[in-house]
Amino acid sequence: MADMHSPEQAAADVIDATALDEAVAFTSGLIRIDTSNRGGGDCRERPAAEYVAERLAAAGLEPVLLERTPGRTNVVARIEGTDPAADALLVHGHLDVVPAEAADWSVDPFSGEVRDGVVWGRGAVDMKNMDAMVLAVVRSWARAGIRPRRDIVLAFTADEEDSAVDGSGFLADRHPGLFEGCTEGISESGAFTVHAAPRLPLYPIAAGERGTAWLRLTAHGTAGHGSKPNPANAVSRLAHAVARIADHRWPVRLTPTVRAALTELGEILGVGPGPGSRQFDLDAFLAKLGPAAGLVEATVRNSATPTMLDAGYKVNVIPGRATAYVDGRFLPGGEEEFAATLDALTGPDVDWEYHHRETALEAPVDSRTFGVLRESVERFDPAGRVVPFCMAGGTDAKQFSRLGITGYGFAPLKLPPGFDYWSLFHGVDERVPVDALHFGTRVLDHALRAL
């Protein structure tokens, strides 16, 4: 097999036309397998896992199918590298998707239809496209007899769209040996085009994630008749706490990744003064960034958003208990401040607890790995500029970080002007251009061999 040790060999383009066709066909094929995750265990990823495993096996790999719960299937395989002394690299993607209401869509959301150069369906960007590109790349390597420098562990997971307890959490906790030697990982939500200005495409690569803090708030009071005054009304207590949380303005906290993003965006777009200046005004700075502001504005603060309420059983009865749920997110290093603020906002009459919690992540933007990812994108789009960013939400990288794996968001796509990538995440008419998949497959191939 070819050895990719030298930079010249790593730089060579070896991806073939078959791989480009397969990236599209596999995206469509995976979309047609309905893996809607409705939460609470209501999902079945096994058919998609079998689809993936069959294609890995055809490439000479030995995929392992693993389940914590029947039907909630994960696939793991290892590609042996040419340098046994090198650290291994994890490449992971999830197989589940959020539900879709067919009546809201222009096409059947699970048709995988390819029309006018676009692949349509749930998972087209989140993230069966990346799963498909990974499959296409490793199969291309098998045909060409190519091996990467370092071992690459492939993980296709269940349950990312809920708690990950049947997916990456299960793999990290129960099967850590499969990831032996892995020090870094790449996955979704990075290296897609953001058109910040005419003829200025940006490609944000994720080097951080806010932590997840899904909260359950509970107010207790005195039950009674709705016609009588009741100062210990659980519903009122809860409503006041929820309103305080919704109205709270969290202070600005610039993490190293966000600070780097602001600095690079300011330099590229000619906006100043930047975060290193005493005259720096964040709100004024963001207003000058235009579309690029969306890369950072959700990650300069912690946040807490009320999302669910549950109280009472009859209009003339004051219940003794009321419950609410809040989607909280905290920055790297910001969890203590987040918890203390929630204590103050909820007050003495409302208790709160974590319904689901995952850590915040930060990865170095001055690492060799980030440099390789940057070079790989800019090689295939010389007009493009790569910038680091921190994800507002989270990925399976959180669970894999338990194994000491540093995660980057890198699922490359070259998107045309006007293509609203963000709105398609969990949105209606999710779709991805065929040309974007071809670009992403080439970039991914180059990056994985160069790493």
Burial class (CB in 10 A: 0-12, 13-18, 19+), 185: buried
Identified catalytic residue from 22, 45, 96, 264: 96
- pLDDT tens digits, residue range 135-150? 999 999 999 999 999 9
Residues 4 and 144 sit within 8 Å (Cβ to Cβ)? no
Cα–Cα separations (whole angstroms), residue 305 to 12, 327, 353: 48, 5, 15
Question: How far is Cα of residue 119 from the mean position of the Cα atoms in its chain?
Answer: 20
* Residue 40 burial class via C-beta count within 10 angstroms: exposed 0-12, middle 13-18, buried 19 and up: exposed
Pull the structure tokens for residue 288.
């000058």
Is 0.85 surpassed by the pTM of this model?
A: yes
* In the chain, where the domains are located: 2-189+395-450
Which entry of 22, 45, 126, 160 is annotated as an active-site residue? 160
Render each residue's pLDDT in the chain as its tens digit; 451 residues.
454 444 444 455 679 999 999 999 999 999 999 999 999 999 999 999 999 999 999 999 999 999 999 999 999 999 999 999 999 999 999 999 999 999 999 999 999 999 999 999 999 999 999 999 999 999 999 999 999 999 999 999 999 999 999 999 999 999 999 999 999 999 999 999 999 988 999 999 999 999 999 999 999 999 999 999 999 999 999 999 999 999 999 999 999 999 999 999 999 999 988 998 999 999 999 999 999 999 999 999 999 999 999 999 999 999 999 999 999 999 999 999 999 999 999 999 999 999 999 999 999 999 999 999 999 999 999 999 999 999 998 999 999 999 999 999 999 999 999 998 988 989 999 999 999 999 999 999 999 999 9
Exposed / middle / buried, residue 236 (Cβ in 10 Å: 0-12, 13-18, 19+) = middle
CATH architecture observed for domain 2-189+395-450: 3-Layer(aba) Sandwich (3.40)
Query: What phi, psi does 111 have (nearest 5°)?
Result: -85, -30
* 160 carries an active-site annotation: yes
In order, the DSSP letters of 97-166 are: B----GGGSSS-TTS--EETTEEESTTTTTTHHHHHHHHHHHHHHHHHTEE-SS-EEEEEES-TTTT-TT
In the residue annotation, 445 being an active-site residue is answered as no
Tens of pLDDT, residue by residue over 114-141, are: 999 999 999 999 999 999 999 999 999 9
The backbone torsions φ and ψ at residue 245, rounded to the nearest 5 degrees and listed phi first, read -65, -45
The DSSP letter of residue 188 is S
**Cα–Cα distance between 202 and 419 in angstroms, integer?**
13
